[in-house]
Chains A and B, each alone.
Chain A
Amino acid sequence: MVLQQKDEQPDRELEKELRAKLGRIPAPLGLKSRILAEAQARELRKKKPLWFSMPFARVAALVLIVVLGAAVVLEREHQRRVEGERAKEQVMLALRITGTALQTVHSRVSEER
């Protein structure tokens, strides 16, 4: 298609020149391989679960493990304390019973005199 111009001959020559000189330039060597490699890498990244590829999610998981571990340790400490309290109460009860018994014996001995 020739565009309407005042001087058509020079334009025809110019258009001919443009068509001849504006041919396609071969793509640089290796460009296709780079494109295909990147496309494949993106496909692989899509397949990994999101959390796996997120650094902060891994850190959050680590923190959770530490917190759970600490909770277990604290719970055990608490249990030990509770058992300790129970043992102490039993000793106090035994002492009270012994004290009462001794008191009774002392009273009887005093009466017999």
Chain B
Amino acid sequence: MSAWQADFEEMVERHQSMVYSIALRLVADSGLAEEIVQDVFLELHCNLERMESEEHVLFWLRQVTVHRSIDTRRRRSERKRLVTEALHDGLSSEEPARASPLGTRVEQLVTALPEAQKAAIVLRYQEDLSPEEIARVLKTPLATVKSNLQRGLKLLREKAQRNLKEYVRGFAAEG
């Protein structure tokens, strides 16, 4: 086997969770997310020779995954799968049980964001990319990325506050 084969296997091992997480949060469908992961890595396999470094691979994977996820979601009809289950299944078993409505709902709220804001939020807070890096990955102007991040946070804040009020109201009613 060539050296690239060994590198490819290592890349899959190292980055499959990153690619899966981005895809799942953008398409909200575990089956589709798996298909996207497979497609992305098979495309990487065809383009291995063009990869110049580990950072290049990371950038390429994020970019292709986001665009592929957005395209997939647009092409297929939106199915409300049990994303919460998939997300909870994927979380570490050591994760402490959170009673806070904010803790259990944040992922759902992110999933429900408009496409552009969702992509920016996921890349910012899951991948810890700066707005400049996000602009390069998404091939959009920096100002647009910053605007999407701000709008996304504002929407999340408003929805979370609404949910918190409902939670408190419900808790009070039970009490």
Interface positions of A (Cβ within 8 A of B): 1, 3, 5, 10-11, 14-15, 17-19, 21-28, 31-32, 34-36, 38-39, 42
Contact = CB atoms under 8 A, between A and B. Distances in A.
Interface in B97-124: 102-103, 106-107, 110, 121-122
A73 B76 CA distance: 59
Given A31-B38, A42-B42, A18 B110 contact: yes
A22 B126 CA distance: 5
**Chain B, interface SS category:** helix
A35 B106 contact: no
14 contacts: A1-B130, A3-B153, A11-B153, A14-B156, A17-B102, A18-B125, A19-B125, A23-B92, A23-B126, A24-B126, A25-B87, A27-B37, A38-B38, A39-B45
Contact of A31 (B16, B18, B110): B16
Given A21-B106, A24-B17, A31 B37 contact: yes
A25 B149 contact: no
Given A14-B156, A32-B16, A22 B38 contact: no
Interface string B22-35: 00110000100010
Contacts of B20: 25-28, 31
A25 B42 contact: no
Contacts of A14: 153, 156-157, 160
A91 B58 CA distance: 93
A14 B158 CA distance: 11
A22 B122 contact: yes
Given A14-B156, A17-B106, A42-B45, A5 B150 contact: yes
Contacts of A38: 38, 42
B3 interface: no
Contacts of A11: 153, 157
B12 interface: yes
Contacts of A39: 8, 41-42, 45
B16 to A, nearest CB: 4
Contacts of A34: 38
A21 B96 CA distance: 12
